[in-house]
């Protein structure tokens, strides 16, 4: 190779490396950017949950009323500022005297997807039993599901354990607001005394994925010794709708400060319904505050 060609090759290589530097720097920066980069940096707190990284979102009081903090825990698989009801309540409760502390829920459980390799397909005359198309897909084994549930519960407990320090700037009562499977997990954990008892519990369309767990939910809820606001929308998950009557039947009767079930005629995908939820929560909290100042 001539000296001229060797020099030209080195020049091109150096030029490529130099021009790549800005892209490499951008890539490194992009990895560090939070998915909440649209929020003020003082509203986002990074925490360690076991070996995982997680984030908690904080919004302080707006106005003179300072009643305490609302801890928000959405459905599994969502984030701490999921669009819709979660984001609406997180921002608007602060105008009613409640600072908001939103934790990231654990990951949701993906339904198992089974694929049969060609060599495993039964051939005529072999007598192998195969699953019929009309039969429900095989689910997790009891042992596997137990491990999944324990992992989810541990994530919630370890996240909640850090909220005392995070919520110190907001003294007062504590409302725990949970939705869907997040609400089911919360009821289960409170019944096991694995979470500190809030002053008020708000559950929205609560359910558990496993049939036996879901059927046990109303009894666990009825046994909790704290004020509960139970909100059910008509577009809630079928598992939640299946237990709504049982939740009301098992609840303490003639105890408005202990349990209140509110059935909404609106779907939660409507902004009007978000405002209704906010008013229900604010009204119930005011009632409890007057009864137990």
SS3 content of the chain, % helix, strand, coil (to 5): 45, 15, 40
Strand ranges, E, within the chain: 44-49, 52-59, 68-73, 98-103, 173-179, 200-204, 228-233, 259-264
Query: CA-CA distance, 81 to 101, in Å (whole number)?
Result: 11
Q: What is the pLDDT of residue 51?
A: 87
Q: What is the pLDDT of residue 140?
A: 65
Distances (CA, A) of 122 to 49, 70, 72, 117, 137: 46, 56, 50, 11, 18
- Cβ(217)–Cβ(207) below 8 Å: yes
Element spanning 146, H or E: helix 142-160
For residue 101, pLDDT over 90 is answered with yes
Query: CA-CA distance, 111 to 139, in Å (whole number)?
Result: 7
Distances (CA, A) of 281 to 101, 141, 289: 16, 39, 12
**Residue partners of 77: CB distance under 8 A and separation at least 6:** 105, 107, 108
Mind listing the pLDDT tens digit for each residue in 163-183? 999 999 999 999 999 999 999
Pick the range with the lowest mean pLDDT from 49-53, 61-65, 210-214.
Answer: 49-53
Query: CA-CA distance, 166 to 280, in Å (whole number)?
Result: 26
Higher pLDDT, 57 or 20: 57
3-state secondary structure of 260: strand
Closest by Cα among 120, 85, 281, 291 to 201: 281
3-state secondary structure of 6: helix
pLDDT more than 70, % of the chain: 78
């Amino acid at each position: 190779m001539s000296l001229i060609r060797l020099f030209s090759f080195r020049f091109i290589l150096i030029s490529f490396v130099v021009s790549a530097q800005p892209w490499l720097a951008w890539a490194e920066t992009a990895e560090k950017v939070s998915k909440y980069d649209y929020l003020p940096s003082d509203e986002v707190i990074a925490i360690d949950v076991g070996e995982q990284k997680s984030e908690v979102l904080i919004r302080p009081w707006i106005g003179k009323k300072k009643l305490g903090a609302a801890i928000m825990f959405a459905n599994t698989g969502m984030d701490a500022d999921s669009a819709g009801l979660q984001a609406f309540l997180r921002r608007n409760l602060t105008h009613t005297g409640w600072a908001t502390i939103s934790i990231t829920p654990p990951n949701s459980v993906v339904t198992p997807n089974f694929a049969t390799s060609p060599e495993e397909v039964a051939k005529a005359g072999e007598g192998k039993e195969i699953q019929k198309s009309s039969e429900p897909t095989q689910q997790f084994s009891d042992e596997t599901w137990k491990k999944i549930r324990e992992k989810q519960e541990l994530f919630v407990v370890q996240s909640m354990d850090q909220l005392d320090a995070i919520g110190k700037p907001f003294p007062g009562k504590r409302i725990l607001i949970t939705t869907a499977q997040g609400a089911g997990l919360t009821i289960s954990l409170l019944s096991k005394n694995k979470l500190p008892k809030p002053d008020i519990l708000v559950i929205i369309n609560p359910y558990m994925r496993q049939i036996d767990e879901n059927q046990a939910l109303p009894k666990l809820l009825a046994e909790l010794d704290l004020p509960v606001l139970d909100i059910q929308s008509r577009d809630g998950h079928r598992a939640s709708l299946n237990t709504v009557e049982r939740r009301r039947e098992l609840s303490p009767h003639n105890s408005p400060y202990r349990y209140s079930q509110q059935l909404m005629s609106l779907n939660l995908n409507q902004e009007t319904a978000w405002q209704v939820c906010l008013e229900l929560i604010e009204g119930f909290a005011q009632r409890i505050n007057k009864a137990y100042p």
